Amino acid sequence: MERLTRVLLCFVIIFVVAKSVHGEQQLQSQVVKAEGVGAIVNNDKAIARDNAIEDALRKAVEQAVGTLVSSETMVENFQLLSDRIYTKTEGYIQKYKVISESPAENIYKVNIEATVALGNLKNDLAAVGLLMARKHKPRIMIMIAEQNIGQQYLSFWWGHQASETNLSITESVLIEKLREKDFNVVDHEAKARNIKIGKPYQAANLDDNTAVSLGNQYDAEVVIVGKALAKLVGSVMGTSMKSVQANMSARAIRTDNGAIIASANTHGAAVHIDEVTGGSEALKKASSDLASKLMDQIINTWGKEVSGTTMVQLSINGISSYQDFLKFKNVLQEQVRGVKGVYQRSISAGVAKIDLDINGDSQSLADELTTKNFPDFSININSMSQNSLELTILPKNR
């Protein structure tokens, strides 16, 4: 009886945790107000009211989409959005209430307040590639060291042991899953002809700095780094069938600032008469699960950035004094659109490093800075990546 109680308690805990996770996902929502209209035909105001509410719900979803993708993207992809997003308003509206309604001679107007599920919307926008377009199609490179049963060492394409296998199982699965969601995956084989990988990089267990350095050589904005290992568990119930398990761990790292935007650990199991084939099947299952977990986290991160604020690392050259730096910091806070927070990190040898919390990204920040006419100085943009910007302050001659 006591054992049964423990088992039931475990099931209750698992259920509560699952509900909690689901609840957190549902909390990703936005409240919007919208007006809808419906034509009154044959004096049937009930149908007109239904049509007006449906029109308002569609407009509420359109407003939410507008916070996740640019207006230009919405215009360019209007038909795609209409077919794939706007026709499924019931999948995004968590709840709504009619604030006011006014039947007239020919039309019925309603005003609603609706709660839109941004989590669902982000996933579907990612599926049709629009979220990636708003993030300027970041290039992702996969660096997973893999060891299947029968292999003596971990195999990895960036090292001398890559010759052990022609094609990584985990890499193939990850590429397939990422491209299904319209992620821009770097073809390292095509670029390898022009890049010579030195010995310091030829290691299965890459630290973040080494992975970032290698990713920059391949022009990748994000690298997925990790390890996959398949192992034999044993025979199944004394038969010739082999039980195999695969374990995987990986993290997604931005190459411009080294920030980890996703991480996951997964497992896969398979049973097969041939242990090597079983290992391959287990690796495929673990890879598929890993791809889903990483993509969910990456999409969630990017979705928050395009609908809210992004942290951009700003490196400022040409600082002649601390007073000059304070003047420039005040300019950022008071005269540059989109800047929500300025966080000072360091000043040394005429170079200041700060983090900016902005609505937009480094490109929009660079555009804003270069079009401004500052009275005491001008700005020269030295370099730019997706989440970092380097510039030089040039004093104006008076």
* Domain-ending residue, one of 287, 307, 327: 307
In a domain, 16, yes or no: no
* Domain-ending residue, one of 253, 284, 307: 307
In a domain, 20, yes or no: no
Looking at the fold, whether 207 and 182 belong to one and the same domain comes out as yes
What pLDDT, on the 0 to 100 scale, is given for residue 391?
92
What pLDDT, on the 0 to 100 scale, is given for residue 124?
78
Q: Are strands 388-395 and 310-317 parallel, antiparallel or unpaired?
A: parallel
**CATH number, residue 295:** 3.40.50
d(CA 214, CA 207): 11
Name every residue whose Cβ is closer than 8 Å to that of residue 71 and which is 6 or more positions away in sequence.
none
The domain of 103 spans 27-132
Q: How many CB atoms lie within 10 A of CB 126?
A: 23
Looking at the fold, whether 293 and 334 belong to one and the same domain comes out as no
In the predicted model, is pLDDT for residue 2 greater than 70?
A: no
Q: How far is CA 370 from the centre of its chain?
A: 28
Average pLDDT (226-240) is: 90
Judged by phi (left if over 0) then psi (alpha if -120 to 50, else beta), residue 350 lies in left
Q: What domain count does the chain have?
A: 3
Strand partners, 36: 110
Average pLDDT value over all residues in the chain: 84
What pLDDT, on the 0 to 100 scale, is given for residue 237?
82
* Domain-ending residue, one of 282, 307, 332: 307
Looking at the fold, whether 149 and 256 belong to one and the same domain comes out as yes
Indicate the Cα dihedral angle 358, 299, 388, 377, nearest 10°.
-30
The amino acid at residue 325 is F
340-344 own/partner pairs: CB under 8 Å, 24+ apart: 340/309, 341/309
**CATH number, residue 124:** 3.30.1660.40
- Sheet of 184-185, strands arranged across: 184-185, 139-147, 222-235, 242-254, 260-272
Looking at the fold, whether 105 and 248 belong to one and the same domain comes out as no
In the predicted model, is pLDDT for residue 32 greater than 50?
A: yes
Average pLDDT (95-101) is: 92
What pLDDT, on the 0 to 100 scale, is given for residue 6?
47
Q: What is the pLDDT of residues 325-364, one digit of tens each?
A: 888 888 888 888 888 889 999 998 889 999 999 888 888 8
